[in-house]
Structure 1
Amino acid sequence: MSSPLDHGTYGEEFSLKILFGNVALSSKPLPFLSLSVYTQHPKTLMRRINLLRPPPSLLPATTLHSFTTLLPYNNGGSSSKPPKKGPTLTFTSNSRWVFTDNYLPPPEWIEPFNDLSDIASKIPQDLKPSPWVHQIMSLLLDGSVDMESRLDLFCNKFLIKLSPNFVSFVLKSMELQNRPDLALKFFTWAGKQNKYTHNLQCYVSLIDVLAINGDLDNVKSVFCKYRGMGFLMNVSAANSLIKSFGRLGMVEELLWVWRGMKENGVEPSLFTYNFLLNGLVNSVFIESAERVLEVMENGKIGPDVVTYNTMIKGYCQVGKTQKAFEKFRDMELRNVAPDKITYMTLIQACYAEGDFDLCLSLYHEMDENGLEIPPHAYSLVIGGLCKEGKCVEGYAVFEKMIQKGCKVNVAIYTALIDSNAKCGNMGEAMLLFERMKKEGLEPDVVTYGVVVNCMCKSGRLDEAMEYLEFCRVNGVAVNAMLYSSLIDGLGKAGRVHEAEKLFEEMVKKGCPPDSYCYNALIDALAKCGKIDEALAFFKRMEDEGCDQTVYTYTIMINGLFREHRNEEALKMWDMMIDKGITPTAAAFRALSIGLCLSGKVARACKILDELAPMGVIPETAFEDMLNVLCKAGRIKEACKLADGFVDRGREIPGRVRTVLINALRKAGNADLALKLMHSKIGIGYDRMGSVKRRVKFRILVES
């Protein structure tokens, strides 16, 4: 195979007259050495010396004349041995063959481009890479474990050395962008070449590759060597280094480069400022980033849309959405038009904070400004509206998306199906499901989970079970959500045995049940009176390391009180508190109702007092307790509880009176409700001498 050094064939005419003149040839023939000579300048000597061995028929038969001895080449270095007496170099005036034995010329430094004569006037994109680049890249990428030795052999064979520009060019190639280990090996090998020193761009190119791949340790190591070299900083290198260090959050190194620019009198460009700003934002140095932006706004290099996008991203990352919107409005004042990245960043921030109306507003603003709306923006807007139950508005955006020619994905269909089902529009949900399949979109496991959940909640359990079977037959992975929906639906329908069977099948198939799944089954068992089985699953849940949530404890407390196992219910409550699980209003409601019905109203009030230091204040606690006591016909206890709430200052008398009237009315005790309504009980006062006392609620049953 020919190499880039081969500048001719056996048939080309060549003369050495310019170098040596006409000389008669004599002596015996020696190995051939074909010389390619450039003669454009008197001082020009040989540029290429290719060892060739021509056919015997081409050997000159004339007499030979002795010629100058060539010195040996020792890999670019000097030889410790004195040069031996060289052989006689002989030639004829007509021959193109020069004879020598084992002496080689010094290797040549190669550059990454073919023609460098007019590089100053050329655009970099117009320069064609040298054929050497392809051959060196082939050696690097062939996957050989002895890459270094293969490079050595190749370079020795063709008498070449790779220049720093060549090394930097290879390090910046696309082939090495995702191969940091290979880039580092090549950099190390190149540095071992004789009389070679890496230049500034070599270090910068390697650091860029390592930073792209997140190799923090090697970036620090290479940068440490770079600092010891004492290179003078330039804008191009500074931009690349600041960008690399910013990507990895290396603020100290980033600021070192910035100081180096200032010390060397290098003026930062707009790119420099933007890379610096991005690095500070990625490292959450938001205040420092604000100062950089302030310098830009007041300096000769003003911020552009990338600058503002970076700052808006930083504010959104730390939850300062309001400040992000302030910068968004500043863009208008400075005539900097926001792009789709600006809007996408703000939409994502609003979606994360649950402000879906603002997401919709930003979407409309994008549409009015004629900006391309990416599919992800549609997903966020439609998803947010669906979460708020605004399925009509979500569907309107969905239709607009289709009109714009934007392809709808499975996630958007799933969100719309789920929203419609939760709003009770099961028909519309199933129409969307069928439409999705007709459009060639394959429902995923999440979609099937949503459909099954909708069917279970609407009581269509048999159809839901058919979808489960469909998933089994067609190889669709069934996840915990789908199983949980079916177990919950079967349990609420009283089909507890089927729910247990499905739970065990789920475990056997290697799908670990989550808290929601356990809670669904425990709730079903507790409600049908199988409290011991519910306790067994509660214990199994703990043994398998599945988190027992406040909802789990609420189910168990409710179930135990329903079975009149009051002490066990209280122990369950204490266990929950001991584990650091904060009770919810629903948990206390289950406990307080159970205690009230078992005649332990004082205990319920004591526990309510204990919740206040924990920051748990159930707003409807007394209302729930009064309702359950009145419903159970325990009016005297209800009045006593009402007086206790007023006396302790938990509630104002007027509110307690209203709640008690409503509780009596709901319990069917209209006479007492009317009596309380037309009296001053609870809110009036009786005067006994100089003492004024509030009329107690217990008067209602005592009078």
Structure 2
Amino acid sequence: MAIQVLKQLSQTLRPKPWPLLFFSSSCSNDDSESLVTNVVTILTHHRSKSRWSNLRSACPNGIEPLEFSQITLHLKNKPQLALRFFLWTKSKSLCHHNLASYSSIIHLLARARLSSHAYQLMRTAIRTSYLTDDQNGRFASPPLKLFETLVKTYRDCGSAPFVFDLLIKACLDSRKVDPSIEIVRMLLSRGISPKVSTLNSLISGVCNSQGVDAGYAIYREFFRLDEEKNEISRRGCGLRVTPNVHTYNELMLCCYQDGLVERMEELWHEMSCNCKPNAYSFSVLMAFFCEEGRMGDAEKLWEEMRNEEIEPDVVSYNTIIGGFCKIGDVARAEEFFREMALAGVETTASTYEHLVKGYCSVGDVDSAVLVYKDMSRRDLKPDTSTIDLMVRLLCDKGRVQEALEFVRCAVSKFDLIPREKSYAALIRGLCFERSMEEALKLQAEMVGKGFQPNSEIYGAFIDGYIRQGNEEMAGALRKEMLQNETQS
């Protein structure tokens, strides 16, 4: 029904001129015409110091929205002045703006490529349209009401087509996905296509809000992949927009996140037929292979990327390094790490964290410590999960004091807050070494961070006091632990 509505609108976006202008009858009486003329004269000929006071005198009863639109039409070549005038009318409450007056200033700003200002006014117009009682529009949805008005005023304002791209972006950023889809459908029905980047953002928005299947269906619909070329020509749907590498990257990433293997490989094949993959494309597919432990397939893909003369980026290197570390082949990961340095690709915290976790997984704590120290020297902040892993491994190796110093340095340098697991491992290690006073201080710090002692912590202290020969304290802690369990 929405498409039929658009077809009934004036031939706004066609190359031939409109038979009826939207603003042609807006200022029919002499008083209104005189006000428009006076305001335009003041805006264009008066100095800025006297302009606004004179305007206030010229508009004692305010300005009607249609009068504002007429004034805006006279300021097509002065977009900044028109914007200041619009903001002035709002700040002084001189005009009760409606969608038509919003549309006129939005078109003018879009025509002047002042995209950010046009975008912000669209967001405001969508919110404002909820409060209006205008029943003349054909749509109930505020974004579609604004779209309808933008279409009607497009030709009079000499606007630019990407004004609709901005509207779609405003809808997506407001999480209004369904109106965005409807707007694109109506534009396509008139032979007008948004930019590929706009369609890509919309497809991604659909994937995130409605699932990959819905996003994939929209992808095929908007790029007309299921239509015959002769049918497109017969219907006069204009130029056919083709998906680019970013289209496929967005879809493959969503498939990867949802674990849709077959769909991802299908998209990879479609992309190879329509455009050249980039480094990110390879990284997404490699990430899936690495996640599944299929490092043979990941290396083949790496070689294919090299054969295509595509230079791996930091994401590519981090992906394959992480994959080899995950299966415990840290030596192979180190080879890619060295290659990364020789290629001049800057390492990130993720690069080092993969290696640290890889060495931890094979029990090589010394190598893990060396990699972490190199990471720290480069001021790359580790994730708390990496700290947890290092602490547990050091404590398991009986190097509790080293683990404690490791945590202190991480907290001091990176302002990290250790997790409960790190505190538990340290307290357990200190109690095993009968360093009860130090363990108690750490436990007090743990409580100060919001972690309450659990049965594991109680058990560590009880075991420590028994090792010390302090049965009385061990018994008191058993009693306290049982009371806490009963109360909980």
Same fold (TM over 0.5): yes
Give the whole-Å Cα distance in 1 for the aligned partners of 2:206 and 2:217. Answer: 10
- Matching residue of 1:64: none
What is the CA-CA distance between 1:392 and the residue it aligns to? Answer: 1.4
Give the whole-Å Cα distance in 1 for the aligned partners of 2:221 and 2:77. Answer: 37
Q: 1:588 aligns with which of 419, 422, 425?
A: 419
Verify: 1:379 aligned to 2:179, yes or no. Answer: no
| Structure 2, gaps ≥5 residues long | 1-37, 60-66, 138-145, 152-160, 226-239, 464-473
Verify: 1:448 aligned to 2:282, yes or no. Answer: yes
The root-mean-square deviation of aligned C-alpha atoms, in Å, is: 4.7
What is the CA-CA distance between 1:606 and the residue it aligns to? Answer: 2.3
Q: 2:347 aligns with which of 510, 513, 522?
A: 513
Give the whole-Å Cα distance in 1 for the aligned partners of 2:369 and 2:320. Answer: 21
Give the whole-Å Cα distance in 2 for the aligned partners of 1:538 and 1:473. Answer: 34
What is the CA-CA distance between 1:474 and the residue it aligns to? Answer: 2.6
Does the aligned pair in 2 maintain the 1:297–1:303 contact within 8 Å?
no
- Matching residue of 2:255: 420
Does the aligned pair in 2 maintain the 1:597–1:628 contact within 8 Å?
yes
Does the aligned pair in 2 maintain the 1:487–1:502 contact within 8 Å?
yes
- Matching residue of 1:607: 445
Q: 1:461 aligns with which of 284, 295, 299?
A: 295
Verify: 1:327 aligned to 2:128, yes or no. Answer: yes
Verify: 1:682 aligned to 2:484, yes or no. Answer: no
What is the CA-CA distance between 1:369 and the residue it aligns to? Answer: 4.8
Alpha carbons of structure 1 residues 630 and 576: separation in structure 2 relative to 1, 3 Å: same
- Matching residue of 1:523: 357
Give deviations 1:386-423, integer Å, cap 9, x for gaps. Answer: 45682112112112112284321111211111221222
Give the whole-Å Cα distance in 2 for the aligned partners of 1:546 and 1:351. Answer: 34
What is the CA-CA distance between 1:453 and the residue it aligns to? Answer: 0.9
- Matching residue of 1:362: 179
The one-letter amino acid of 1:458's match is E
What is the CA-CA distance between 1:237 and the residue it aligns to? Answer: 11
Alpha carbons of structure 1 residues 419 and 582: separation in structure 2 relative to 1, 3 Å: same
- Matching residue of 2:273: 438
Q: 1:399 aligns with which of 210, 220, 231?
A: 220
Alpha carbons of structure 1 residues 460 and 308: separation in structure 2 relative to 1, 3 Å: same
Alpha carbons of structure 1 residues 298 and 376: separation in structure 2 relative to 1, 3 Å: closer
TM-score (norm 2): 0.63
- Matching residue of 2:4: none
Alpha carbons of structure 1 residues 640 and 532: separation in structure 2 relative to 1, 3 Å: farther
Q: 2:390 aligns with which of 541, 547, 556?
A: 556
What is the CA-CA distance between 1:313 and the residue it aligns to? Answer: 5.8
Give the whole-Å Cα distance in 1 for the aligned partners of 2:375 and 2:307. Answer: 30
Larger Rg: 1
Give the whole-Å Cα distance in 2 for the aligned partners of 1:488 and 1:332. Answer: 57
The one-letter amino acid of 1:291's match is S
SS in 1 for 2:255: helix
Alpha carbons of structure 1 residues 408 and 548: separation in structure 2 relative to 1, 3 Å: same
What is the CA-CA distance between 1:287 and the residue it aligns to? Answer: 7.0
SS in 2 for 1:540: helix
The one-letter amino acid of 2:212's match is C
Alpha carbons of structure 1 residues 593 and 475: separation in structure 2 relative to 1, 3 Å: same
Give the whole-Å Cα distance in 1 for the aligned partners of 2:460 and 2:296. Answer: 38
Alpha carbons of structure 1 residues 567 and 485: separation in structure 2 relative to 1, 3 Å: same
Give deviations 1:164-211, integer Å, cap 9, x for gaps. Answer: xxxxxxxxxxxxxxxxxxxxxxxxxxxxxxxxxxxxxxxxxxxxxxxx
SS in 2 for 1:297: coil
SS in 2 for 1:494: coil
The one-letter amino acid of 1:297's match is H
Q: 1:540 aligns with which of 353, 374, 382?
A: 374
TM-score (norm 1): 0.46
The one-letter amino acid of 2:269's match is E
Give the whole-Å Cα distance in 1 for the aligned partners of 2:50 and 2:352. Answer: 56
Alpha carbons of structure 1 residues 548 and 529: separation in structure 2 relative to 1, 3 Å: same
Alpha carbons of structure 1 residues 605 and 390: separation in structure 2 relative to 1, 3 Å: farther
Does the aligned pair in 2 maintain the 1:591–1:604 contact within 8 Å?
no
- Matching residue of 1:662: none
Give the whole-Å Cα distance in 2 for the aligned partners of 1:548 and 1:397. Answer: 40
SS in 2 for 1:295: coil
Does the aligned pair in 2 maintain the 1:308–1:328 contact within 8 Å?
no
Q: How does 1:95-106 map to 2 (within 5 A)?
A: none
SS in 1 for 2:310: coil
Does the aligned pair in 2 maintain the 1:331–1:338 contact within 8 Å?
no
Alpha carbons of structure 1 residues 522 and 364: separation in structure 2 relative to 1, 3 Å: same
Give the whole-Å Cα distance in 1 for the aligned partners of 2:456 and 2:210. Answer: 31
Q: How does 1:573-584 map to 2 (within 5 A)?
A: 573-579=407-413, 581-583=415-417
Give the whole-Å Cα distance in 2 for the aligned partners of 1:416 and 1:501. Answer: 31
Q: Which has the higher helix share?
A: 2
SS in 1 for 2:449: helix
More relative contact order, 1 or 2 (CA 8 Å, 6+ apart): 2
Give the whole-Å Cα distance in 2 for the aligned partners of 1:327 and 1:491. Answer: 54
Give the whole-Å Cα distance in 2 for the aligned partners of 1:639 and 1:343. Answer: 71
What is the CA-CA distance between 1:479 and the residue it aligns to? Answer: 0.5
| Structure 1, gaps ≥5 residues long | 1-232, 243-252, 613-620, 645-656, 658-680, 684-703
SS in 1 for 2:96: helix
Does the aligned pair in 2 maintain the 1:418–1:454 contact within 8 Å?
no
Does the aligned pair in 2 maintain the 1:531–1:560 contact within 8 Å?
yes
What is the CA-CA distance between 1:481 and the residue it aligns to? Answer: 0.7
Of stretches 632-641 and 480-489 in structure 1, the one that deviates more from structure 2 is: 632-641
What is the CA-CA distance between 1:499 and the residue it aligns to? Answer: 0.7
Alpha carbons of structure 1 residues 582 and 343: separation in structure 2 relative to 1, 3 Å: farther
Q: 1:471 aligns with which of 305, 312, 315?
A: 305
Does the aligned pair in 2 maintain the 1:596–1:629 contact within 8 Å?
no
SS in 2 for 1:403: coil
What is the CA-CA distance between 1:378 and the residue it aligns to? Answer: 2.0
Q: How does 1:491-502 map to 2 (within 5 A)?
A: 491-502=325-336
